[in-house]
Structure 1
Amino acid sequence: MRSEGDGKKGRGGLPLRGDPLNVSPSRSVTAIVCAAGKGERAGFAKNKLLERINGKTVLERTLSAFDFSAVTEILVTASQADFAEISALCGRFPRTRAVLGGNTRFQSVFNALRQASGELVLVHDGARPFVKTETILGCIASVLQYGSGVCAVPAVDTIALTDGAGKIAEVPPRKDAFALQTPQGFYTAELLSAYEKAAAEKSGGYTDDSSVFAAFVGRPRICAGARDNIKLTYAEDFKDNFARVGFGVDTHAFGRATDFVMLGGVKVPSDSGLIAHSDGDVLAHAVMDAMLSAAGLKDIGYYFPDKDEKWRNADSMKMLVAVKELIAAKGFAVKNLSVAVQAERPRLAAYIDAIRQSLAAALEIGPPAVGVSAGTNEGLGYVGEGKGITVSAYVLLKGV
Structure 2
Amino acid sequence: MVCVIIAAAGQGKRMGSTVNKVLLPLAGKPVLAHTIQAVCQAKAVTSIILTAAAEETEKMSMLLAELNLSIPWQVVPGGSERQYSIANALQALPPSAKIVAVHDGARPLAGPGLFDQVIEAARLYQAAVAAVPVKDTIKITDHSGWVTDTPERSTLWSVQTPQAFDRQLLASAYELAAKEGYLGTDDASLVERLGARVKVVAGSYQNMKLTTPEDLHFAETVLAKRQAAKPVIRAGIGYDVHRLVPERRLILGGVAVPYELGLAGHSDADVLLHAVKDALLGAAGLGDIGKHFPDTDERYKGISSMKLLAEVHKLLNNHGYIVNNIDATIVAQKPKLAAYIAQMNSNIAAALDIDVTQVNVKATTTEGLGFAGQGEGVAAYATATIASVQA
Distance 1:77 1:217, change over 3 A: farther
Q: Which amino acid aligns with 1:106?
A: Q
Give the alignment's TM-score, normalised by structure 1.
0.53
1:143 matched to 2:110: no
Alignment length (residue pairs) = 219
Q: Deviations over 1:36-74 (max 9, x none)?
A: 000101011010001112321000000000113411111
| Residue 96 of structure 1: how far off its partner (Å) | 1.7
Matched, 1:72 2:46: yes
2:101 is equivalent to residue 105 of structure 1: no
Q: Is the 8 A contact 1:138 1:224 kept in 2?
A: no
User: Aligned residue for 2:307?
Assistant: none
Residue equivalent to 1:41: 14
Paired amino acid for 2:74: R
1:163 is matched with 142
The answer as to whether partners of 1:116 and 1:188 remain within 8 angstroms in 2 is no
1:212 and 1:222 map into 2 onto residues whose CA distance is 15
- Is the contact between residue 114 and residue 192 of structure 1 (CA under 8 Å) also seen in structure 2? no
Distance (Å, rounded) in 2 between the aligned partners of 1:87 and 1:215: 34
Counterpart CA distance in 2 for 1:59 and 1:241 is 13
Kindly provide the CA deviation profile for residues 308-334 of structure 1, in whole angstroms up to 9, marking residues without a partner as x: xxxxxxxxxxxxxxxxxxxxxxxxxxx
1:222 aligns with: 200
Q: CA deviation at 1:217?
A: 4.2
Counterpart of 1:107 in 2: which secondary structure?
helix
Match of 1:307 in 2: none
Name the counterpart of 1:131.
Answer: 110
Confirm whether residue 90 of structure 1 aligns to residue 69 of structure 2. Answer: no
CA distance in 1, matches of 2:211, 2:154: 26
| Counterpart contact for 1:73–1:96, Cα < 8 Å | yes
Tell me which residue corresponds to 2:27: 54
**AA in 2 matched with 1:56:** K
Indicate yes or no: 2:193 matched with 1:182.
Answer: no
- State percent identity of aligned pairs: 37
The CA distance in 1 between the partners of 2:121 and 2:147, in whole Å, is 34
- Over alpha carbons, which structure has the higher Rg? 1
Aligned equivalents of 2:112, 2:120: Cα separation in 1: 12
Q: 1:201 aligns with which of 180, 185, 206?
A: 180
Tell me the amino acid that sits aligned with residue 108 of structure 1. Answer: S
SS of the residue 2:59 aligns to: helix
Q: Partners of 2:87 and 2:79 in 1: how far apart?
A: 9
Per-residue deviation at 1:144?
1.3
1:239 aligns with 2:212: no
State the partner residue of 2:346.
none
Aligned equivalent of 1:390: none
Tell me how far apart the structure 1 counterparts of residues 191 and 141 of structure 2 sit (CA, whole Å): 24
Gaps of 5+ in 1: 1-27, 248-400
Amino acid of the structure 2 residue aligned with 1:224: A
Aligned to 1:157, the other structure's residue is in SS state coil
Which one has a larger percent helix, Structure 1 or Structure 2? 2
